[in-house]
């Protein structure tokens, strides 16, 4: 039966990759490999371990092949996903425990490996942290591959789509998305997933729409059903009517022409209609993102989140390794400046497998995080500071501390920098003696004492992601209260204004590097409040640049002044949205 005879149903999820697709659904249901259980005779036990070793080697070869393909087709950034997979195969705990389980039970190696890997997957899946929960997906993916190889089964993949289809799945593992038939996948839709899951990153880089977090969509659709995937608003429309199809056809044309218009101003300076130049910088997490920042003509790097160098590795990277990474970024961006933020580990970013450094806490966001961790682990802190100082000799670096709560903490951190400088001078190692030191303002106590902090540093960068969560007491990663996380809350606006005014009184510049800086709806509000520069994920630069060029600073200041007199976060947001829509025609 033609499913288009069924009524139209709209299902709402999370918009993960922009774009609109229309077509028939292919339901991809992963089934776990069935593992037979039996006893291995004592004389065959050596062979059984050798069989395990061979399966690990084959798995490694398969993953390396996928990694190379992804690197060729999508670039090194996306291919890095598979390093995490290769690391699973080298995990001594997982492999060693499997062999010990085999030696003590004599059960076939598949059964032992399945038992141990499932235990690890379960442990990761229960961790209350998005990054680590996603590692559970990596582990499950690799474990399934090892089991398939042990059992001599063919690869389970999405590489054989017969026709162009919208892929609907409960979850899509990184190797599924890597082997995905790119010419035939119209969109990726998942019951599970977040905006940061690997499949979504791949979808975005393939420029196909993606909607995730649809809960039980797979149980509501069948192969061959017709659907529209709206990756802008996070909608999946099942059995769309002719009028919906017509509407979406028009939307698609308009979005495409708007995106083309955004790219036309990519190279143009961010100057308002009344002639004020706005500094737009990029936030990066890895050295290889500099290329993206440059392709969007960023005026430097406003936030280099160095902790990702640590999070992407299974160990604490030594000073030399850090130096090379920082130097690469600073050298490539020169003469433009790079704000290197010292480690912000802890909170939602503990180091995996380092429970000794990051013991479990009840309130990790209010716990042993960032500068607090560094001041207690000065060996790790000093390695990083020396690496940054040495790298500063190769371009224009600025140093910034995260999570500063007051003047004494800032003074202690600066004192450690001074110690490192003295050590380097003693060794005759070059560094930039005039490197500026700034502080993030992301804790309410720092905002309230901004006048004092401004006397002790060269610049401020406001971390609105954390500042809003602490100011409003809204855990930034808790879905249940996400609707209460309101950047336009009067408390936020007043705090921003106070920080900016105190900084300017001491004649130091203020930037915003939280997510607010990358959403054009907030651009006039932030600039109108007096913020000097905005730093955002490179992909957002074109839309913010476009809007800056479509407004006047005079109007932005009026908007900010008006917003400061208002009491309702929703009304303030609506006012900002109206301001945006009046100047930028996205249609
Ligand atoms: C912030 O808190 O706004 C910020 C930029 O830092 P992070 O998101 O890394 O905590
Ligand atoms: Mg922060």
pLDDT at 216: 85
Is residue 452 domain-resident?
Answer: yes
Return the structure tokens found at 480: 């249940």
Identify which has the larger pLDDT, 78 or 266. Answer: 266
Looking at the structure, tell me whether residues 221 and 108 fall in a common domain: no
Distance CA 546, CA 273 (A): 11
By DSSP bridging, strand 235-238 and strand 226-230 are antiparallel
Looking at the structure, tell me whether residues 379 and 525 fall in a common domain: yes
Looking at the structure, tell me whether residues 72 and 139 fall in a common domain: yes
Of 487, 586, 579, 574, give the one whose Cα is nearest residue 546: 586
Looking at the structure, tell me whether residues 395 and 301 fall in a common domain: yes
Ligand nearest to the CA of 465: 1
Distance CA 279, CA 302 (A): 10
Domain count across the chain: 3
Measured on CA atoms in the order 310, 315, 320, 324, is the torsion positive or negative? negative
346 lines ligand 1 (CB under 6 A): no
Measured on CA atoms in the order 111, 114, 119, 122, is the torsion positive or negative? negative
Of 320, 312, 369, 366, give the one whose Cα is nearest residue 342: 369
CATH of the domain at 70: 1.10.274.10
Is residue 478 domain-resident?
Answer: yes
**DSSP string of 498-549, one letter each residue:** HHHHHHHHTT--EEE-SGGGG-GGGHHHHHHTT--EEEE-GGGHHHHHHHHT
Least confident span in 2-16, 289-303, 415-429: 2-16
Query: What is the enclosing helix (H) or strand (E) of 229?
Result: strand 226-230
Looking at the structure, tell me whether residues 102 and 131 fall in a common domain: yes
Looking at the structure, tell me whether residues 389 and 505 fall in a common domain: yes
- The alpha carbon of 301 is separated from its chain's Cα centroid by a whole number of angstroms, namely 16
Is residue 37 domain-resident?
Answer: no
Q: Please check whether residue 147 is in contact with residue 110, taking contact to mean a CB–CB distance below 8 angstroms.
A: yes
User: Under the phi-then-psi rule, with left for phi > 0, alpha for psi from -120 to 50, and beta for the rest, what region is 95?
Assistant: alpha
CATH of the domain at 530: 3.20.20.60
Strand partners, 202: none
Does the pLDDT of residue 156 top 60, yes or no? Answer: no
Q: Which of 130, 151, 172 is the last residue of a domain?
A: 151
Ligand nearest to the CA of 305: 1
pLDDT tier for residue 408 given thresholds of 50, 70 and 90: very high
Is residue 56 domain-resident?
Answer: yes
Looking at the structure, tell me whether residues 370 and 472 fall in a common domain: yes
Best probe residue, ligand 1, of 286, 301, 343, 344 (max atoms within 8 Å of C-beta): 344
pLDDT at 71: 76
463 lines ligand 1 (CB under 6 A): yes
Looking at the structure, tell me whether residues 137 and 161 fall in a common domain: no
**170 Cβ contact partners less than 8 Å away, ≥ 6 residues apart:** 29, 30, 190, 191, 192, 218
Count CA atoms closer than 13 A to 102's CA, side-chain side: 25
Q: Which of 185, 218, 240 is the last residue of a domain?
A: 240
Looking at the structure, tell me whether residues 479 and 365 fall in a common domain: yes
Looking at the structure, tell me whether residues 46 and 25 fall in a common domain: no
Distance CA 232, CA 17 (A): 7
Looking at the structure, tell me whether residues 118 and 177 fall in a common domain: no
Q: Which of 97, 123, 151 is the last residue of a domain?
A: 151
Is residue 405 domain-resident?
Answer: yes
By annotation, the residues acting in catalysis are 198, 513
Best probe residue, ligand 1, of 284, 461, 466 (max atoms within 8 Å of C-beta): 466
Report CA(283)–ligand 1 centroid distance (Å): 10
Looking at the structure, tell me whether residues 23 and 50 fall in a common domain: no
Is residue 571 domain-resident?
Answer: no
Best probe residue, ligand 1, of 402, 446, 468, 477 (max atoms within 8 Å of C-beta): 402
The mean pLDDT value of the chain amounts to: 89
Is residue 464 domain-resident?
Answer: yes
Is residue 473 domain-resident?
Answer: yes
466 lines ligand 1 (CB under 6 A): yes
Give the ligand 1 atom nearest the CA of 402.
6
Ligand nearest to the CA of 537: 1
CATH of the domain at 165: 3.50.30.10
Q: Please check whether residue 121 is in contact with residue 143, taking contact to mean a CB–CB distance below 8 angstroms.
A: yes
- pTM of the complete model beyond 0.85: no
The mean pLDDT of 331-345, rounded to a whole number, is 97
Domain extent, residue 541, equals: 270-552
pLDDT at 3: 45
The mean pLDDT of 347-374, rounded to a whole number, is 83
Distance CA 514, CA 498 (A): 17
Give the ligand 1 atom nearest the CA of 513.
5
Q: Could you give the 3-state DSSP secondary structure of residue 183?
A: coil
Does the pLDDT of residue 2 top 50, yes or no? Answer: no
Smallest CA separation from ligand 1 atom 1, residue: 463
pLDDT tens, residue by residue, 190-224:
887 665 556 776 677 667 899 988 888 988 898 89
């Amino acid at each position: 039966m033609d499913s288009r005879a069924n009524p139209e149903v709209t299902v709402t999820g999370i918009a993960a990759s922009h774009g609109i697709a229309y077509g028939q659904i292919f339901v991809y249901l992963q089934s776990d490999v069935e593992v037979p259980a039996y006893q291995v005779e004592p004389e065959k036990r050596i062979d059984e371990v050798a069989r395990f070793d061979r399966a690990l080697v084959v798995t490694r070869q398969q993953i390396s092949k996928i990694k190379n393909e992804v690197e060729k087709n999508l670039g090194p950034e996306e291919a890095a996903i598979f390093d995490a997979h290769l690391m699973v195969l080298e995990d001594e705990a997982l492999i060693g425990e499997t062999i010990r389980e085999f030696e003590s039970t004599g059960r076939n190696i598949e059964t032992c490996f399945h038992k141990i890997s499932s235990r690890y997957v379960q442990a990761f899946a229960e961790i209350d942290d998005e990054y680590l929960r996603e590692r559970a997906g990596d582990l499950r993916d690799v474990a399934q591959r090892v089991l398939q190889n042990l059992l001599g089964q063919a690869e389970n993949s999405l590489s054989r789509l017969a026709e162009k289809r919208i892929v609907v799945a409960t979850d899509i593992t990184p190797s599924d998305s890597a082997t995905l038939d790119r010419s035939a996948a119209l969109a990726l839709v998942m019951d599970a997933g977040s905006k940061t899951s690997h499949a979504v990153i791949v979808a975005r880089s393939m420029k196909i729409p993606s909607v995730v977090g649809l809960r039980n969509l797979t149980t509501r659709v069948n192969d061959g059903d017709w659907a529209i995937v709206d990756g802008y608003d996070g909608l999946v429309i099942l059995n769309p009517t002719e009028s919906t199809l017509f509407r979406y056809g028009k939307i698609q044309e308009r979005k495409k022409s708007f995106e083309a218009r955004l790219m036309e101003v990519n190279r143009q300076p961010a100057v308002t209609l009344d002639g004020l130049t706005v500094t737009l910088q990029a936030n990066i997490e890895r050295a290889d993102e500099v290329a993206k920042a440059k392709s969007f003509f960023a005026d430097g790097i406003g936030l280099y989140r160095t902790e990702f160098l640590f999070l992407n590795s299974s160990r604490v990277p030594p000073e030399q390794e850090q130096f090379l990474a920082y130097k690469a970024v600073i050298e490539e961006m020169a003469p433009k400046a790079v704000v290197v933020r010292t480690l912000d580990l802890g909170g939602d970013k503990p180091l995996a497998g380092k429970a000794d450094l990051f013991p479990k806490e009840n309130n990790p966001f209010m716990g042993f995080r960032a500068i607090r961790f560094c001041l207690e682990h000065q060996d790790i802190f000093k390695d990083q500071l020396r690496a940054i100082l040495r790298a500063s000799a190769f371009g224009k670096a600025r140093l910034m501390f995260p999570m500063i709560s007051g003047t004494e903490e800032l003074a202690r951190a600066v004192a450690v920098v001074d110690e490192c400088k003295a050590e380097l001078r003693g060794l005759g190692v070059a560094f930039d003696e005039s490197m500026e030191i700034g502080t993030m303002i992301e804790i309410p106590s720092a905002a309230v004492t901004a006048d004092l902090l401004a006397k002790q540093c060269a610049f401020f960068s406001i971390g609105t992601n954390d500042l809003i969560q602490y100011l409003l007491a809204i855990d930034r990663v808790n879905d249940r209260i996400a609707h209460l996380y309101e950047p336009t809350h009067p408390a936020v606006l007043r705090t921003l204004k106070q920080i900016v005014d105190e900084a300017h009184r001491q004649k130091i510049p203020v930037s915003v590097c939280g997510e607010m800086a990358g959403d054009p709806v907030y651009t006039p509000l932030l600039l109108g409040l007096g913020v000097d520069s905005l730093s955002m994920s490179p992909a957002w630069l074109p839309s913010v640049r476009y809007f800056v060029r479509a407004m006047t600073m005079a109007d932005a200041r009026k908007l900010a002044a008006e917003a400061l007199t208002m009491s309702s976060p929703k009304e303030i947001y609506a006012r900002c949205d109206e301001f945006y829509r009046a100047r930028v025609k996205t249609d």
